[in-house]
């Protein structure tokens, strides 16, 4: 829960430069790292060994190492933006092993169906948001070209288009809406697979690998738009490239052993 809180706080801290969220990110993440350290020590001491055994213990220790390196870099260089990758990654590595010592089982089929619906809806909203962002960016290009051409007074085919600043804000707001949807969808998918016999093989599925890669591109898109002031034509091109990548991820449903359409 603390890693999750730190993961949520790091995005407004970096993307909007909020000092309040920055402090919250460091505090939540620091507490999570401390209790993670206690958990790791107890895990190894109770097992009477000092070497991890099994995938779950290794995942937990890997998450601990990533979080530790992040806080070391933050302490030395004040590089809080790296937390956008480190904290969500650590949360994911810790969350899955924390479900249970064995396979996780939902209390009922209804609960499992609800999680599955949430998984699908969250990812579809992410696709829709990115598509809407690209649409707004393309309309930005049309409006920009129209303004530069200095149309004559009177009726024009594109008079209905909103101002450039409005289109830019719509495109960016759609991106920021779609990102948490995509993140939640991936996390719920990782929970759902714990009830199956796939185990670690789930994370080798081409659709799953591509989904996490597209998540990284999504983060980079948000960072570039924020830090480099990417707007207008270049923003539309970048959004289009990310959308093409996500459409490629969608196409992998046809060859995925986990997500293939028609499989129950």
pLDDT in tens, 231-242: 666 666 766 666
pTM: 0.67
pLDDT in tens, 191-221: 777 666 555 555 666 667 777 777 877 777 7
* H helix runs in 193-231, sequence order: 206-227
Q: Which residues of the chain have pLDDT under 50?
A: 261-264
Within 13 A of 15's CA, how many CA atoms are on the CB side? 20
What residues contact residue 147 under an 8 Å CB cut-off, 6+ apart? 164
What residues contact residue 133 under an 8 Å CB cut-off, 6+ apart? 170, 171, 172, 174, 175, 178, 239
Provide DSSP, 68-82. Answer: HHHHHHHHHH--GGG
3-state SS class at 103: coil
């Amino acid at each position: 829960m603390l890693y999750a809180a730190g993961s949520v706080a790091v995005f407004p801290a970096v993307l909007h430069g909020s000092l309040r969220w920055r402090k919250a990110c460091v505090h939540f993440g620091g507490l999570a790292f401390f209790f993670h350290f206690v958990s790791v020590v107890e895990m190894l001491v109770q097992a009477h060994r000092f070497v991890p055994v099994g995938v779950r213990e290794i995942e937990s220790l890997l998450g601990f190492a990533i979080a530790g390196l992040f806080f070391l870099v933050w302490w030395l260089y004040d590089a809080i933006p790296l937390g956008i990758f480190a904290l969500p990654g650590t949360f994911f590595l810790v969350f899955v092993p924390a479900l249970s010592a064995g396979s996780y089982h939902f209390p009922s089929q209804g609960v499992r169906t609800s999680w599955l619906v949430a998984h699908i809806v969250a990812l579809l909203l992410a696709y829709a948001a990115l598509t809407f962002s690209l649409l707004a960016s393309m309309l930005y290009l049309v409006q920009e070209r129209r303004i530069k051409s200095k149309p004559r007074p009177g009726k024009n085919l594109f008079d209905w288009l909103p101002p450039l600043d409005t289109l830019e804000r719509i495109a960016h707001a759609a991106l920021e809406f779609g990102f948490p949807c995509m993140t939640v969808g991936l996390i719920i998918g990782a929970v759902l697979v714990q009830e199956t016999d796939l185990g670690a093989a789930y994370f080798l599925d081409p659709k799953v690998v591509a989904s996490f890669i597209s998540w990284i591109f999504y983060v980079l898109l948000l960072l570039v738009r924020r830090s480099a002031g990417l707007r207008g034509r270049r923003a539309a091109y970048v959004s289009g490239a990310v959308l093409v990548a996500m459409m490629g991820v969608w196409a992998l449903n046809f060859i995925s052993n986990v997500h293939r359409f028609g499989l129950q």
